[in-house]
Every structure is written in structure tokens, then in C-alpha cells.
Amino acid sequence: MSIELKMPALSPTMEEGTLARWLVKEGDTVSSGDLIAEIETDKATMEFEAVDEGVITQLLVAEGTDGVKVGTVIAIIQGEDDVATAAPKAAAPVATQAPKPAEVAAVPAPAPVTAPVAAPSHSSGDRIKASPLAKRIAANSGVDLAAVSGTGPNGRIVKADVEAFSGAGRSPAPSSAMDPGLRRESLATDNRPSTGSGLTVDGGDIPHEVVKLSNMRKTIARRLTESKQQVPHIYLTVDVRLDALLKLRGELNASLEPRGIKLSVNDMLIKALGLALIQAPKCNVSFAGDTMLQYSRADISVAVSVPTGLITPIVTDAANKSLSKISTEIAELAARAKEGKLQPHEYQGGTASISNMGMMGIKQFEAVINPPQAMIMAIGAGEKRPYIVDDALAIATVMSATGSFDHRAIDGADGAQLMKVFKELVEKPLGLVA
């Protein structure tokens, strides 16, 4: 009995993936649990295991193929007990179908008409792969894309394929009569890369290259667009004095040096946000339509920049972890995030996020909420500023922290309470180690 291996959903947001690499070839024998492929999701590159033992009889999707929909059959395993009987069965259709090509060849007249239909390279899949521009041209020209052979990557139908198909029976007179300047403008416009939203971008004469989006970048674009369109953001900013926290950090690092641990300011801010969410529980929530999820644990998603985009590994139960534990966890998670080796449970979920661009010199910014979370803290750079200390003007190290809140779930007063608690914890940091 043959077993179909289908493209799995390796993350809640995954709708399609890239089959990055096959680890087996046709004819290989595999057992349950054997690694057979590497699949690039919207967040990381994951290893795909065989679900049963048998022989790989077909690899239906070539490695490097992107846009493979979840649920698409990518390979077939033949049970070992059936391998011996599979070969004779496979030979039978060949013998019975042998005369069919002769039958087709015996009717030469309709050959030009049926020739386009004989391009089943893309009709055998779940969808027709075509560029947005090719689809628009086909729709305007009344061309059935199922009848068009694709010459793009992996059989993708591009603009030239549709034009070649639809233009076969057209008179070239109109195009030859077109003003050369207008024709050049038209061609330049038609070749503009699509933004994926029905718009096109014209690079004009500016030197440029077209860079293919990674699955992660596609997901970031989609989810953050949805966030700004659907989530009513409210922004609250506080200035936080860092001098006491920096002094405590220096003392703690001196004591932790024999253990090879060095705390960062960000490690301490993660702890502060975790404690603040517990003390201001109305902000530790997710909006869920007619209901709201109220969390009793603060799991902090930490924004980490990776070559393909942005990923947010999670520090679970940040409020109850020591600073040294948070520091070692973040270092390990960030390293594996940059290698694309995070496991789904390490980046899926979280009750709130923190994004720190202070190390890049950014004074203040407003971060976009990552749904279904209802808040994210944006951390700016600590810098020397004039500041009122003990009713007198002094110079202090101050940073700006901006909370972005989902106003459907969190009122302004509740968000202000969280920012107040966060500021107090940072300015009186002994509470972080108590």
C-alpha cells in the first residue's frame, strides 16, 4: 500500500513552504522517524521525518521549489511488503496504453488545436503557477492559463508565455504601427515587478536587481500589514533613567564573570517587562473577537534580526526567571534563530514582545504589534540628557520606551499603568533580583 507524504504545516501561520532539500532519493528505503527533507517555513528551516517504513518510489516536488501549499503530496512511499508486487502492476498500464499515442498521431488535423492542452506540467498540480502580470494579461485577453506552457522557474507562467500564446493568431500591424517611444514605455511598464497587492514598482533607469522574497519576509509583510490595518494601535512613551540599572548591571557582571555570564541591558529589560505584565495583568492579554485571553504567565517574545528577516524567540515565564537564566537563554535562542534552527515551540506564542534598537542609536520608535499579542515594548537608546534629579537639574542616562497597545483589548489607562510599573522597575532595579 502506497503512503502519500504531504507538505506539513510546521507553524500556525504556514500556508506554503519551500522544499529546500531532499535528504533521500527515489529507491531509498526509509524507516519511521528517518529524516527525508528540509523544509523552509515562514520562520525557520525544519527537518521533515518519514511517517512509516518503506521505499521512496516517487519524489513529486523538486528540491528548491517554493510556494508548495500545505497538504500538497510531495513524495510517495511504497510499503516494503508491496514493493515486490508493485513492479508487475506498473508494467500493465504501459502495455495497454501503448497504442494510444498511435491513435493520437492518426488524427493529424486537430493537432494544432490540442497542442496547448498537451502542456500538463502545471495542470497536474493543485494550482496554476503564474506571475501576477501574466494572470492579468490572461484575464484581459481571455486566455485560459491551463492551456499555456510556462517557461519560468519550475514551470511558472510569465508574461512572455501568455503573449506568445495569445499573439499567435494576431496581426502584428497594431504593434508595428505603435510609436516607438510609447512601445518602449509600455514594455518598461509591463516588466515592472509586482508588489503582490495589485500594484507595480517601476525601477526605471535606476540600476537595480530584483530580489526574491524569503518565506519569512512574505509572512512578515502579510502579518504586519494585517496588524496595521486591523489592530487599532495606541502608543504610550515614558522616559526612563538608567543610571541605577547600569550600576547594578556592572556589579552583577563582576560577580557572574567566573561563570562566564555577562548580562546585557536588554536581559534586564526583558525581566522588567515580564514583572510589569504580572503587576499590570490587564495588559497581559490577547484579543479574540468576542472573548479575551487573560494570561497568568508572562512569556516575552524578543525581536531578533536574522538574514532573512525578523524572528521572535520566546523567554517563557520571564517574571520568575533569574537574570542569569534569561541571559543564557537569549544567547542560545538568538544563535539558533540566526542559523534557522529554532523549534516551533521556541518562537510560537508569547504574551507580549520587546524590540530594542537602542544599540543602533535609535532614540525612539513605535513598534508594530505582532498579533495575537496585544502589546509590544519599543526600547530606544540610553543617552546622556538633562534630567531632574532630586528637584535639581542634572545629567542622567535616559532612554525612551514606547509601548504599542491593541486598543480593542487594552485601555489607555491600563497601558499607562504598565508603563509606570516598567519605569519604576528599571529605575529601582533591585526589584529585578529580589
CB atoms within 10 A of CB 107: 9
Angle at 68 between CA 66 and CA 70, to 5 degrees: 145
Kind of pairing between the strands at 300-302 and 314-315:
antiparallel
> Rounded to an integer, what distance in angstroms lies between the CA atom of residue 156 and that of residue 161?
9
Contact 60, 73 (CB under 8 A): yes
Single-letter code of the amino acid located at 71: G
Contact 427, 241 (CB under 8 A): yes
Burial grade of 277 (CB within 10 A; 0-12, 13-18, 19 or more): buried
Q: How big is the chain by its Cα radius of gyration, in Å? A: 29
> Rounded to an integer, what distance in angstroms lies between the CA atom of residue 258 and that of residue 199?
57
Catalytic residue from among 122, 208, 233, 407: 407
> Which residues are CB-contacts of 65 (< 8 A; sequence separation ≥ 6)?
18, 19, 154
Contact 396, 385 (CB under 8 A): yes
In the annotation, is 345 catalytic?
no
Q: Which residues are catalytic?
A: 407
